[in-house]
Chains A and B, each alone.
Chain A
């Protein structure tokens, strides 16, 4: 089984709709991240969480919100989706006790906003 899972894997929605993307992990890592990936722009950090009570904005948080329901679950919401939020979204985790800075990514959610 995958260590980091994301649901749904694909989603098509309409402008103005509220969307939630979910991420679960079995790695036991405290730190979780949400990124979006766009052609030519690479990976950009939306939000990150160091534990259940510590949530921080990344470089492109406008239009997004997050919820850390448990150590293993981190959800990303688009309150009112717009077409330029069409992208590939990735969740990632990291372990501060590992002594490295490596992050482990989920398989991604492909979101299309019409």
Chain B
């Protein structure tokens, strides 16, 4: 089941610069997308989300962009900080009456922010 894909397993970025993480999906029935951050031996921590009726959502240093026609979303982190070093997961939820919130996750992108 590869409906949510993160094709970059890793990303290295300099402190202060922009981190751009990408996520592609195949199911046009997804109606809600989320980004989670995960440190080793911890649970995923919610970062930011976007509904399929929007194309952009911003929260502090984090902005998520959604391109429905391309079935693509991205997470921008500006400026990147050393504490942002973690694995970032993209997740999507089906917008059907038969779905009760099941999230489908991408494989994750390991971000390393260097000084």
A, B co-complexed: no
A interface vs B, CB < 8 Å? none
- Chain B residues in contact with chain A, CB under 8 A? none
